[in-house]
Amino acid sequence: MTSWFANLSPLDHRYHASAPELWEELSGILSEEAYIRYQMQVEWALVEALERRGLCPKGSGDQVRAACERVSPEDVRREEARTRHNIRALVNCLQGEVGEKVRPFIHLTATSADVMDTARALQLRDVTNLSIVPRLKEFLTILITLAEKTANIPTVGRTHGQHGVPITFGFAIAEYISRLGSRLVAITNAKNNLRGKMAGAVGAYNASSLLCADPMEFEKEVLGLLGLTPGGHSTQIVEPEYTLDLGHTLVSTFGVLANFADDMRHLQRTEISEVGEAFAEGQVGSSTMPHKRNPWNFEHVKSLWKAFMPRMVTLYMDQISEHQRDLTNSASGRFVVEIATALAMALERLIKVTKKLSVDEGQMLANLKSRAHLIVAEPLYILLASYGHPDAHEAVRKLTLEAEKTGQSLADLAQASSELASYTERFTPEQRKVISDPLTYTGQAATKCVEICTIWSQKITQI
Amino acid sequence: MTSWFANLSPLDHRYHASAPELWEELSGILSEEAYIRYQMQVEWALVEALERRGLCPKGSGDQVRAACERVSPEDVRREEARTRHNIRALVNCLQGEVGEKVRPFIHLTATSADVMDTARALQLRDVTNLSIVPRLKEFLTILITLAEKTANIPTVGRTHGQHGVPITFGFAIAEYISRLGSRLVAITNAKNNLRGKMAGAVGAYNASSLLCADPMEFEKEVLGLLGLTPGGHSTQIVEPEYTLDLGHTLVSTFGVLANFADDMRHLQRTEISEVGEAFAEGQVGSSTMPHKRNPWNFEHVKSLWKAFMPRMVTLYMDQISEHQRDLTNSASGRFVVEIATALAMALERLIKVTKKLSVDEGQMLANLKSRAHLIVAEPLYILLASYGHPDAHEAVRKLTLEAEKTGQSLADLAQASSELASYTERFTPEQRKVISDPLTYTGQAATKCVEICTIWSQKITQI
Amino acid sequence: MTSWFANLSPLDHRYHASAPELWEELSGILSEEAYIRYQMQVEWALVEALERRGLCPKGSGDQVRAACERVSPEDVRREEARTRHNIRALVNCLQGEVGEKVRPFIHLTATSADVMDTARALQLRDVTNLSIVPRLKEFLTILITLAEKTANIPTVGRTHGQHGVPITFGFAIAEYISRLGSRLVAITNAKNNLRGKMAGAVGAYNASSLLCADPMEFEKEVLGLLGLTPGGHSTQIVEPEYTLDLGHTLVSTFGVLANFADDMRHLQRTEISEVGEAFAEGQVGSSTMPHKRNPWNFEHVKSLWKAFMPRMVTLYMDQISEHQRDLTNSASGRFVVEIATALAMALERLIKVTKKLSVDEGQMLANLKSRAHLIVAEPLYILLASYGHPDAHEAVRKLTLEAEKTGQSLADLAQASSELASYTERFTPEQRKVISDPLTYTGQAATKCVEICTIWSQKITQI
Amino acid sequence: MTSWFANLSPLDHRYHASAPELWEELSGILSEEAYIRYQMQVEWALVEALERRGLCPKGSGDQVRAACERVSPEDVRREEARTRHNIRALVNCLQGEVGEKVRPFIHLTATSADVMDTARALQLRDVTNLSIVPRLKEFLTILITLAEKTANIPTVGRTHGQHGVPITFGFAIAEYISRLGSRLVAITNAKNNLRGKMAGAVGAYNASSLLCADPMEFEKEVLGLLGLTPGGHSTQIVEPEYTLDLGHTLVSTFGVLANFADDMRHLQRTEISEVGEAFAEGQVGSSTMPHKRNPWNFEHVKSLWKAFMPRMVTLYMDQISEHQRDLTNSASGRFVVEIATALAMALERLIKVTKKLSVDEGQMLANLKSRAHLIVAEPLYILLASYGHPDAHEAVRKLTLEAEKTGQSLADLAQASSELASYTERFTPEQRKVISDPLTYTGQAATKCVEICTIWSQKITQI
């Protein structure tokens, strides 16, 4: 027993403290304790399948199930301290809790990796199902609500950090709905493609072939009891690409969150101030600058991404295992669960802060107006060209320089230009409106925003 | 004009020299020259779609297509030196080659990124279709032939670099058929999911909304002419995850190749000598040790993987682009094509060397036999347990230590053991055979090998 | 012969085009052609050292030197096409150009890696000396000039993207002088620690021990002719850490450049507009938004960093080479020169753009003033505390909320506060000045800026 | 309170269990609890320095020191739950334990990052001094002992996994002494270059300038009390390169350990069997293959390296912080301590296993002899060439092929060759000996080994 406070990993101390319920939830799936419980499930499934085939005494499966209840993960750790082999320890513990006739059938034909890899797949499936997917859906729902509410709020579109042409705030949020929506689909697909194995020490069913004529079928039966299927080919371990693909979907989801966080924190810059994190009563912004309102939750999510994204490199390195397996993916493979942990924590954080995000419509309009006279450059050029001006882009570029020099608006300069008159006089009233009121030049921003909200509101319910 | 020999990137000098035809092939798709040609295709599709809608003069599309033939990439580069803007240069060049009435419609409503991102998608689609997938299929076919031929050749299964229990060589090869087969499917799916855009400067169809009432439909028409569809939401750029997902499938395929290469080079170790790279007449193995036969092609593939795998980190970082886009993914995004290049080169190399791989059946048998007396430990333990021995693993472990001490075989010790007699006397003849001839203890290795070959022989033809 | 335009690597096409003189300079050091020239130097040094010891005919060294002039890298490549071994090809070519008596001594006792690793060290030394260090010094000099000129220009210090307390612009620039200065020292140290070898096939001087009694001394003589020393221990290759350490200094320098670029591009945001990239006459900012002035050079540098930083992972992986060497660091090791290439290109770009950076003093003041009334929070809290207020931070935090609510200035509220009177009345005139004119609250910004400029102006001249 | 067993990070569960004393040791330096203690030290140093300058009441420093004893990290966490600001919480707690007159001076002029960055530097310094360096020295001492003992044991030098020419086992070990020795020096230098700061919210000493005329001097006094010095320039944070450089030395040390581990596990391959991990009494090798003796400790170290090496990418990304600091390096920066943790764990593991490494001299000789007849190729070629044979390499290459075909030894074939007679008859007796007994062809392996042992035995004592 030690205090979580003495732990070494920030996941187990600082981020434990900042989200204790989530930590408990994840611990129930991803801790060593939980891992051992999953391993016991696998050992049960094996004996249960043996029994169903009549290869061991009736009631064996139930005996093992009961043993799994009685054996605590701590018992297993104590036994491991003696045997120095985790799965042998587990087997010893279970054997101690079943009748003598059942004992020999525990773990029979299995190799440690059959149990460990299958248990890992169960952990990753469950953390995805129980902790990641629900939070991702909740975050998507919050974004959809936000986008629907702000679908028509004009704001400036920014490229290179510069004012471009107008969009609506909802349209900017819809980007993240679309990207995260497609990540949700990707995560779900990868999670559904996790695999287990019960193919023995080198994957060739050597041991199980001694007991039955169709060991590949038998493997399906064992895994089927756990809701899994076997991989395409196993060595001592499951093909690494199933987990790798899941890792990719988790990390790439993290990347979208980091981009969202970056956008939000830049929109909170003092000079921009279009959105804001709500601050709790009594919360301190800075230990020395009491007036600060920092976007620290968004900064936190970006920072977590920096800590966890590079770990994909570990997963890519773990694709390599010599011959029928070397053990150099063992320690590294254990850290995979930390990626899921960090992603769940990032989602949790974003859900809380985005739910209360304050959107300053007035400031958006003010910012947009500050350069609105220049925004007109693009529609002017498009319209001139569409009416046949042979070099509209260059014509507008020069007009822009003149506008900057004289302080006149582009619209006025265009109107006054005799060179352009043959084109501008053919503009329709709607077209004139865009030129004179460039804030209406938002294209399909609102429409597209609503379309994306509709699509994903529906799709979420189907996943 | 410079000699390729003066180039800076090893891809353009050393690996140009080692596979000149492949280099030419890839250059035709991935070079700057080729990129400009793809960009011209996009500019053509835009005008063609405008024409089909009656938004520009009849024959405009054909004029642009003809202009694309006349304008050389070199022309564009020269113009870019003047304008310092690559797409403006391209547009200028095309405009110079069409009639005055068509001129204004070139690039109309498009932003540079519409053209560049769509052209990049075309490049990545084509290099996948033309250079990666065919080579991956060819390599798979070679592996299938090899596996079928060696499906029944016994060899030792190795875990931790230690002899485990027997498999067949074909079964070891089947691992790579299964893993690469599933990568082939993944590559194909990701490639088919590449997207383009024609949504303007901030993705909201601001410009195209000036010309038509259904700009999202219009975007589909433009991209449809190129065999593409739009992404779920665009800012100035296409959502990065489409390319990222393709990158993941390419890099994870590379990882499987690296694993295969590692296995083959270890099997070539002097002490193991189970396979060999064929050497060309007159080829020098070492500048100072003339007797060396180095697995240098396999080493090369592993090494290329080390050079290119970490670049996934760049793709993950490129998920982040501020607001409606900053340009910090521009230079980095250009290097994506190098991943495809390297993967094609690695496949080319593996095809050549694996086709001529020499498999030393005799040496496999010799290695297997050298510890065959110990291999029997596993089946012995399984059989004892299946006949109800309450602690078979421990019993066999002790017997193993005795075997090591006395030099006697495990089989003989087991046979002689009075403690074990009540179990061993119940062994069936087949079971006795495995114990006395552990080389037959290959489980389903041959069966599984053939099954995998059958599955993938067929699937390949459907992709 | 192919056009550079058909090349595969962006380094050899796009970035070739954008900086052709730099490309030529780097090609002269880092291309395959240049590599072969460096290898010839090593072969010469070996024969020269043999001659100086009387181990081969007089004049041998000069003959080899002359041969190195006559043999072209192209000759070597042609020979390699035949022998399929690059160093054997080189040796054959040189042997063909010397007298029969000298011939056997070319490459004698050397292994290929002796020549290749030593030549690589020469390349890396030279590119550092000739292309990186001078550019880094030039960039530092530009920054020093800029910092000295702006040492007293007040600007707001930003943390979390929020206005904090004032600094001067020169102080912000001084950050980069200090960080890049220390990187310059680090690069120089790592470069001076590059090593060569002439220790034979497995590093144990097996071959050279046949010819002389002190082969370790002989190795020093050979390398001394090239300005290098041997590593602490060699296998077939030089210990990888010498190159790795250089790689770290180059990549970490790149990181500082990326940070600088990020700062500059954010200061160019429309809403901030404190600095600007000068635009060339006729340059196009956006193909569709003619009014845009994008920070594209700074974006480019950040983007290059994203492309090259992850390659450190390759260098770390290349620390592992089995036993006395496997070849899996060969291809990957060739790409190391691309890191130096990209860094030189980034420096070149920053030199050009920073030289002409426009600094908008007025806008800095305007931004600073917009929240100046809040800035006063920090000095107020410090002064209250220093005069003994028991809870100054909390007192000021509450005052801040009041200021936000009422629109009054913090200074006025503090002045008016009877609670605080016992402290505020003891403020010195200077202290009152800071509270009433928070723009003067720049601490040691100017002093520190000048100090850093002085230190590094001097240190640069000593490196 | 939770059981370590429920923790999320493998560092805090599995690797806690496998090395509990080490875990306790590291927890005392690197946990959140320990971090808070270090932060309190910094707060003390600040007040102590204020007192020494007469800026606060006499005895303030001692009062704060006493408060640091009384305040527990748990108190701070409880307070943080209220304030949601870790350093404000710390300050509140300390203030509660000192007299009213001292209270205002706690944290005065400091910003949170002054305390946190300085405390982090102290943590990293201490973990290096107390946990890394002593273990690295111990491991070096073990390697030196091993190398000295085996300096003369002949073994085959392997390149490309192929037998090359002979070395001695001690020479192979000396590689790691040299590489790790130079890493020890690098770690020490980087550790000695860690820096702190006391420069306020944006690094310009704004606050401290209100209290004294030489705040840069004052900063040195504060840090001097902690054994640190300030960085070259600070923003809100210390320049990231000091920690980054330390990270590089730690990770590159890890790389050398991984290489050593790889070598050892390959030498344990069944077919090679030259070294072995000692197994504990009762330890289980495989749950299903009782005869296995797996190199699992070496595999573990390699695997840990895969998990932690990629984290350098995080450190490189953390070089970028916008303007005077954004917070996106905060969470990520916390994980830096995990790199030190993992390295200490890897060293601990290697110390234990290498101490008991069994070296099978007989097997080394047997392996060496198995191809000894081919090894003679290199010395034969060198000698022929040194006596003037114009194409010795080719001559020996052909002889090698003949040897392979006929089964005769190279030595015999050379002896019998009339073509070569004019050279071979001039061989000295020593030279003939090498040809006839290639096992003596170990060059300077033993000498170099002893030299390296001598150098590092001495240097270790000086660090």
- Residue where a domain terminates, one of C49, C78, C105: C105
- CA-nearest residue to B181 within chain A is A232
pLDDT digits (tens, 9 = 90+) for A222-238: 999 999 999 999 999 99
- Per-residue pLDDT reduced to its tens digit, B245-268: 999 999 999 999 999 999 999 999
Whether D4 has a pLDDT exceeding 70, the answer reads yes
Does B299 lie at the interface with A, CB-CB under 8 angstroms? Answer: no
Same structural domain, D170 and D189: yes
Mean of the per-residue pLDDT values for chain D? Answer: 94
Chain A residues in contact with D83 by the CB 8 A cut-off are 282-284
Catalytic residue among C3, C160, C291, C323: C160
**Interchain contact B321–A (C-beta under 8 A):** yes
Per-residue pLDDT of chain C (463 residues; tens, 9 = 90+): 458 889 999 999 999 988 999 999 999 999 999 999 999 999 999 999 999 999 999 999 999 999 999 999 999 999 998 888 999 999 999 999 999 999 999 999 999 999 999 999 999 999 999 999 999 999 999 999 999 999 999 999 999 999 999 999 999 999 999 999 999 999 999 999 999 999 999 999 999 999 999 999 999 999 999 999 999 999 999 999 999 999 999 999 999 999 999 999 999 999 999 999 876 555 555 555 554 578 999 999 999 999 999 999 999 999 999 999 999 999 999 999 999 999 999 999 999 999 999 999 999 999 999 988 778 888 999 999 999 998 888 899 888 888 888 888 888 999 899 999 999 999 999 899 999 888 999 999 999 999 999 999 999 999 9
Cα diameter, chain D:
103
Is residue D425 assigned to a domain?
A: yes
Tokens 């990993």, residue located = A9
Residues C87 and C144 grouped into a single domain: no
**pLDDT tens, residue by residue, D150-164:** 999 999 999 999 999
For residues B26-33, average pLDDT: 96
Backbone angles phi, psi at B276, to 5 degrees: -155, 145
Q: ipTM of this model?
A: 0.95
The alpha carbon of residue B295 is apart from the nearest alpha carbon of chain D, in Å, by 7
Assess if residue A204 is contained within a domain: no
How distant is the Cα of D360 from the closest Cα of chain A, in angstroms?
22
**pTM beyond 0.80:** yes
Q: Are residues A21 and A35 in the same domain?
A: no
Pick the last residue of a domain from D344, D366, D388: D366
Query: Among residues B103, B89, A409, which one has the least CA distance to residue C283?
Result: B89
CA of B380, closest CA in chain D: separation in Å?
10
Please give the average per-residue pLDDT across D269-281, as a whole number: 84
Q: Chain B residues with CB inside 8 Å of A325's CB?
A: 159-160
Tell me whether D373 touches chain B (CB under 8 Å). Answer: no
Q: Report yes or no: A401 at the C interface, CB cutoff 8 Å.
A: no
Residue A54 domain-assigned (yes or no): yes
Residues 52-71 of D with CB under 8 A from B: none
Residues of A with a catalytic annotation lie at 160, 286
What DSSP element (H or E) covers C150? Answer: none
Answer yes or no: do A190 and A136 share one domain. yes
Q: Which of residues 158-187 of A touch D (CB under 8 A)?
A: none
Name the token pair of D233.
């320039």
**Residue A90 belongs to a domain with what CATH number?**
1.10.275.10
Which uninterrupted H or E stretch holds C158?
strand C154-159
- What is the percent of chain A where pLDDT is above 90? 84
SS3 content of chain C, % helix, strand, coil (to 5): 65, 5, 30
Distances (CA, A) of D163 to A223, B295, C8, C294, C387: 45, 12, 38, 59, 79
Cβ of B300 within 8 Å of Cβ of C335? The answer is: no
Interface test with B, best of D155, D156, D158, D160 (most B CBs within 10 A): D160
CA distance A449 to A427: 28
Residues in chain B closer than 8 A to D313 (CB atoms): 313
Q: What is the CATH number of the domain that holds A161?
A: 1.20.200.10
DSSP state of B279: P
Tell me which of B87, B105, B123 is where a domain ends.
Answer: B105
Q: What is the 3-state secondary structure (H, E, C) of chain A?
A: CECHHHCCCCCCCHHHHHCHHHHHHHHHHHCHHHHHHHHHHHHHHHHHHHHHCCCCCCCHHHHHHHHHHHCCHHHHHHHHHHHCCHHHHHHHHHHCCCCCCCHHHCCCCCCHHHHHHHHHHHHHHHHHHHHHHHHHHHHHHHHHHHHHHCCCCEEEEEECCEEEEEEEHHHHHHHHHHHHHHHHHHHHHHHHCCCECCCCCCCCCCCHHHHCCCHHHHHHHHHHCCCCCECCCECCCECCHHHHHHHHHHHHHHHHHHHHHHHHHHHCCCCCCCEECCCCCCCCCCCCCCCCCCCHHHHHHHHHHHHHHHHHHHHHHCCCCCCCCCHHHHHHHHCHHHHHHHHHHHHHHHHHHHHCCEECHHHHHHHHHHCHHHHCHHHHHHHHHHCCCCCHHHHHHHHHHHHHHHCCCHHHHHHHCCCCHHHHCCCCHHHHHHHHCHHHCCCCHHHHHHHHHHHHHHHHHHC
**Helix H or strand E segment including B229:** strand B229-230
Do B301 and B204 fall into the same domain? yes
Q: Are residues A187 and A300 in the same domain?
A: yes
Do D16 and D160 lie in one domain? The reply is no
Domain membership of residue A230 (yes or no) is no
Q: Which residues from C are below 8 Å from A271, CB to CB?
A: 269, 271-272, 367, 370
Q: How far is the C-alpha of D36 from the C-alpha of D39, rounded, in Å?
A: 5
pLDDT tens digits for D328-382? 999 999 999 999 999 999 999 999 999 999 999 999 999 999 988 778 888 999 9
Q: How remote is the C-alpha of A191 from its chain's centroid?
A: 12
Instruction: Look at residue D115 and tell me if it is in a domain.
Output: no
What burial class does residue B303 get, using C-beta atoms within 10 Å of its C-beta: 0-12 exposed, 13-18 middle, 19+ buried? buried
**Confidence (pLDDT) at B1:** 43
Q: Which residues pair with A168 in a beta bridge?
A: A154
> C112 to chain B: which residues are within 8 Å by CB?
286-288
Cα–Cα distance, C302 to C297 (Å, whole number):
9
Which residue range(s) make up the domain with B61? Answer: 31-105
Chain A residues lying within 8 Å of D30, measured CB to CB: 8
pLDDT band at A84 (very low <50, low <70, confident <90, very high): confident
Partner-chain contact B159 A204, CB within 8 Å: no
Do D253 and D327 lie in one domain? The reply is yes
Same domain, A123 and A68: no
- Is residue D455 a part of any domain in this protein? no
**Per the domain annotation, does D228 fall within a domain?**
no
Q: Is residue D385 part of a domain?
A: yes
**Structure confidence at residue C3 (pLDDT):** 80
For chain B, positions 408-427, list CB contacts with chain A under 8 A. none
Q: Can C160 be counted among the known catalytic residues? A: yes
Same domain, C353 and C401: no
C-alpha distances in Å from residue A204, one per residue of A110, A240, B169, B392? 11, 17, 11, 21
Give, for D165, the enclosing helix (H) or strand (E). strand D162-168
Q: Which of D269, D287, D377 lies closest to B289 in CB terms?
A: D377
Residue type, B331: A
Each residue's pLDDT tens digit, D64-105: 999 999 999 999 999 998 888 999 999 999 999 999 999 999
Q: In whole numbers, what is the pLDDT of chain B averaged over residues?
A: 94
Determine the residue of chain B that is closest to D398 in CA distance: B290
- Is the same domain home to C216 and C291? yes
Closest by CA position to D313, among listed C310, C339, A313: C310
Pairwise pLDDT comparison (D266 vs B378), residue with the higher score: D266
- C373 contact A CB<8A: no
Same domain for C117 and C94: no
Q: What is the pLDDT of residues A412-448, one digit of tens each?
A: 999 899 999 999 999 998 899 999 888 999 999 999 9
The stretch D125-145 carries a mean pLDDT of: 98
The better pLDDT of the pair B89, B285 is held by B89
Per-residue pLDDT averaged across B369-382, rounded?
A: 88
Closest CA–CA distance from residue D457 to any residue of chain C (Å): 14
- Looking at per-residue pLDDT, the higher value among B360 and D289 belongs to B360
Q: Has residue B289 got a pLDDT over 70? A: no
Number of structural domains chain B divides into: 3
Residue A281, pLDDT above cutoff 70: no
